[in-house]
């Protein structure tokens, strides 16, 4: 499974984001492209501890279900998550600044030193560095994102 901690994976993500336009037709759900960038940025902020989110005490928090979802199975459509990472609703006029911010957050998160302590995930609780790398990468990868929403893994 690719990880956000791989420089090659981060370059591939940047290349895909370069092809995304603010008026792109949603292929990942109902969010438009600017809202998706804000959602991804806020998820990175959450991982780094910059955006505080309320924990949810669900069975997803415990092994082996936690590992299955992080590493193997697609996220179920409509799965619970932190509402705080859906709060911002930028529009196309904010595209350039949202894109710069997401690029910076991907790099900051992906190049965090090994001793950095990531925040607890609201659903999964305490995660290993490896789990955060995979979990940070998955929503940024279109085939994985499409698989989460029942569209297979086609590009």
| HEC letters along 9-52 | HHHHHHHHHHCCCCCCCCCCCCCCHHHHHHHHHHHHHHHHCCCC
On the question of pLDDT at 150 being above 50, the answer is: no
- Tokens 């600017």 belong to 34
On the question of pLDDT at 38 being above 60, the answer is: yes
On the question of pLDDT at 28 being above 90, the answer is: no
Q: Which residue did the predictor score with more confidence, 154 or 33?
A: 33
- Averaged pLDDT, 128-141: 93
On the question of pLDDT at 146 being above 70, the answer is: no
120 φ/ψ sector (left φ>0, alpha ψ -120 to 50, else beta): beta
């Amino acid at each position: 499974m690719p990880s956000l901690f791989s420089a090659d994976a981060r370059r591939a993500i940047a290349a895909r984001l370069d092809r995304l336009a603010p008026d792109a037709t949603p292929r990942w759900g109902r969010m438009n492209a600017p809202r998706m960038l804000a959602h991804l940025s806020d998820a990175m902020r959450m991982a780094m501890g910059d955006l505080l989110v309320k924990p949810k005490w669900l069975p997803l928090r415990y092994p082996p279900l936690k590992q299955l979802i992080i590493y193997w199975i697609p996220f179920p459509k409509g799965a619970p998550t932190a509402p705080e990472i859906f709060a911002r609703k930028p529009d196309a006029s904010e595209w350039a600044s949202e894109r710069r911010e997401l690029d910076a957050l991907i790099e900051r998160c992906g190049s965090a030193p090994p001793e950095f302590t990531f925040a607890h995930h609201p659903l999964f609780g305490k995660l290993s560095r490896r789990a955060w790398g995979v979990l940070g990468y998955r929503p940024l990868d279109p085939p994985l994102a499409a698989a989460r929403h029942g569209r297979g893994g086609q590009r």
